Amino acid sequence: MTFHEMNMDDLKNSLQKEGVNPSFQRLKIYEYVLKTRVHPTVDKIYSDLSKKIPTLSKTTIYNTLNLFQEKNIVAGLTIEGKKVRYDAAVKPHAHFKCTACGELYDIPVDFPVLSSDSVSGHRVTEMHFYLKGVCRSCLGVQTQV
């Protein structure tokens, strides 16, 4: 099942499976991060969701995302500066940041170290692999199907 095929019951079950109480606001935040796939910041989530949920606060979003990170439901990405973006794809992959438009793309990678929980006897608890450059959209490159 892809992220886009998940309904609210699926999201609720997914959170409960991780020991998270699926409140309405948590469900909506989780749905947003899963389905938008834009690696949003707290400000972006707040801007988009507060239109539909006027009682939503940035504090609730921060607290929810911190809980989700503790439970490995989302990953926080700090690619530059102190701005944290959130990703619901928690399996190891790389990120490509376009220096022209600012978009952030998931990039599949197949390095043995990314599928391991230890490296040279060290226990790995977090991995980050970032690339920067100009995306194909900004370069005007046509994608092939």
Global pTM value: 0.80
Architecture of domain 91-139: 2-Layer Sandwich (3.30)
- Give the distance from CA 75 to its chain's centroid: 6
Could you tell me the CA-to-CA distances from 54 to 10, 40, 50, 130, 135 in Å, in that order? 24, 19, 5, 35, 35
Beta bridge partners of 118: 123
83-137 per-position pLDDT tens digit: 899 999 888 888 999 999 988 998 888 766 656 676 778 887 777 788 899 999 9
pLDDT for 55-80, tens place per residue?
999 999 999 999 999 999 999 998 87
Q: 129 with 94: CB under 8 angstroms?
A: yes
Helix (H, G, I), strand (E, B) or coil at 2: coil
CATH 1.10.10.10 residue spans of the chain: 3-75
**How far apart, in whole angstroms, are the C-alpha atoms of residue 114 and residue 90?**
12
Kindly compute the dihedral angle of the four CA atoms of residues 31, 35, 38, 39, in this order, to the nearest 10 degrees: 40
Record the tokens describing residue 74, joined without a space: 């989302």
Whether 28 and 53 have beta carbons less than 8 Å apart is answered as yes
CATH architecture label of 3-75 = Orthogonal Bundle (1.10)
CATH 3.30.1490.190 boundaries in the chain: 91-139
pLDDT at 120: 79
Average pLDDT over residues 17-39: 94
| Exposed e or buried b per residue across 42-71, where buried means at least 16 C-beta atoms within 10 angstroms of its C-beta | bebbbeebeeeeeebeeebbeebbebbeee
Structure token digits, residue 33: 């991060």
The one-letter amino acid at 103: E
